Structure 1
Amino acid sequence: MFLTDHALRRIAASTNEVLPDQLWRFDTAAEDAVGDLARLLHKTAREYNATVAYLDSAVPHLTVRPALRTAGQREAVYGMLAAIERHDLLSSVLIDAYTAWRRHRTVGGGNEQHLLVYPGDPAHGVITLSRTSPRFWRATADTEAAKAFDVPYAGRIVGLIGETPEGRYEATACSDLAHAESGSPMAYRLPDRDDLTTACRSLLRWWQLRHSAAWRSRTPDQLEPAELGQLAA
């Protein structure tokens, strides 16, 4: 599962860049400007994560019934308010520091990339795309994406994405690449999409329908227009 680190989750929400780890750590030993930025970013990320952890633990104690509140409740409230202010400040510094570090480092690209299922919203999980050929990507859903769409494919392949000559993206839902490559009826060709993220999301939407009572053993070609539109929602 991606984005269990609070700092990485905040960065993804702000920039749509999904990092598998705090990659700036590899620059913290450098004795140059990039190293300075990496150390600032690393320190800020640690403080940001600590503040989020504190708030996560403090809130439940402040929402108990009045009769159960402790004598130090007022001090705890003041402490939480101060932590919220610090959280907001650190959030801003975190993104600024990350943006500055990113000017010197390439993130993503290559034969593997990670996309938020919904841009700006990590709550719906991440799709990992692994290149299988110059034109095709294997799409894998992380645990959070599988849970968000209620499909039994956490950490498993959900389909194949291909780039068309027209610059669009064709999506084929399958749980095994061999199904798509052989033209098996267990591979479901979905409508082409204008962008990669929507194509990935349509795979999850299809499996969500496929594992629901509304499927009724239909193929994508047999769906109603409204249902086809919902695949891209």
Structure 2
Amino acid sequence: MFLTDPALRRIAADTNDVLPEHLWRHDTATPDPLGDLARILHKTARDFTDSTTSLDAALARAGVLTETARQGLAARADLHIASYHQTLTDALVARERHTVLGAALVTCYHAWRNHRPIADGDERYLLLRRCDPSRGVATLRRSDPHTWLVVPDAEAAGAFDIPYPDRVVGEVTETDHGWTPTAYIARPHQAPLTTVYPLPACGDLASACRSLLRWWHLRHSDTWRNRTPNQLDPTELAHLTS
């Protein structure tokens, strides 16, 4: 899974930027305003990560308390729970701190990012659903100036229910009419490709990547029935390109 770090996941959810690591760390030793921003962001990210752990623990304690209360209510039709007030207060305090730190994290990130452009190069990272890390990340690797190979992470493979985590599932090519996806599964050691499936053009890069994953989900489902993309019905095609 790509976005396992809480700070990076929150940044992706709020900004749609997917970073492979805390890139601001490379600026923390810089003795200028950019370095100041990076150091503040670095500390805020660490505090946010600690807060995530604390909030998770507080919610877990509240969950145990709730289950105990439900069992007591079922057994005696009454509630006798020790320290429930403190447990709930701790959860609310942890949530409030987490909310404040989350907003600070995104603000600090924007401030740093405004002074630190990040070039895509020959590899880039894309949320498969805008500002929704739960749908996973696609790693895009340039194969020519207009074409990118698409590699879903484990979270994306799980979200779209396909058996190809961390494997090339096809490519997307930018054209005058949008982005054209072509589905195939890359084989190791430069072996020849098996079947290649040209898919309908999509309006943007993210939808083209989703189209690849949706095709492979259909391809491995009972509704495939040995059909090619050209044989899908209008509803299936609309879902494929949405």
After the TM superposition, which segments of 4 or more aligned residues of structure 1 sit over 3 Å from their partners?
Answer: 67-73
Correspondence for 1:169: 179
CA RMSD of aligned residues (A): 1.9
Stretch moving more, 136-145 or 107-116: 107-116
Q: Which amino acid aligns with 1:23?
A: L
Correspondence for 1:88: 99
CA pair 138-12 structure 1, distance change in 2 beyond 3 A? same
Correspondence for 2:57: 57
Correspondence for 2:213: 204
Structure 1 unaligned regions, length at least 5: none
Correspondence for 2:75: none
* Equivalent residue pairs, number: 229
Correspondence for 2:89: 78
Provide the rounded CA distance (Å) in 2 between the counterparts of 1:129 and 1:205.
Answer: 17
> How far does the alpha carbon of each residue in 1:31-56 deviate from its partner, in whole angstroms, 9 at most, with x for none?
11111111111111111111111111
Q: Is contact 1:108–1:114 with CA below 8 Å preserved after alignment?
A: no
Provide the rounded CA distance (Å) in 2 between the counterparts of 1:227 and 1:157.
Answer: 23
Q: Secondary structure at the match of 2:59?
A: helix
* Shift, 1:110, TM fit: 1.2
Q: Is contact 1:159–1:203 with CA below 8 Å preserved after alignment?
A: yes
Q: Normalising to structure 1: TM-score of the pair?
A: 0.93
Q: Which amino acid aligns with 1:32?
A: D
Correspondence for 2:238: 229
Correspondence for 1:17: 17
Structure 2 unaligned regions, length at least 5: 73-78
1:186 to 172, 195, 199: 195
CA pair 91-212 structure 1, distance change in 2 beyond 3 A? same
Correspondence for 2:144: 133
Correspondence for 2:76: none
The structure with the largest alpha-carbon Rg is: 2
1:102 to 101, 113, 116: 113
Q: Secondary structure at the match of 1:81?
A: helix
* Shift, 1:61, TM fit: 1.6
Q: Normalising to structure 2: TM-score of the pair?
A: 0.89
Structure holding more strand per residue: 1
Q: Is contact 1:151–1:211 with CA below 8 Å preserved after alignment?
A: yes
2:131 to 120, 133, 154: 120
* Shift, 1:73, TM fit: 3.2
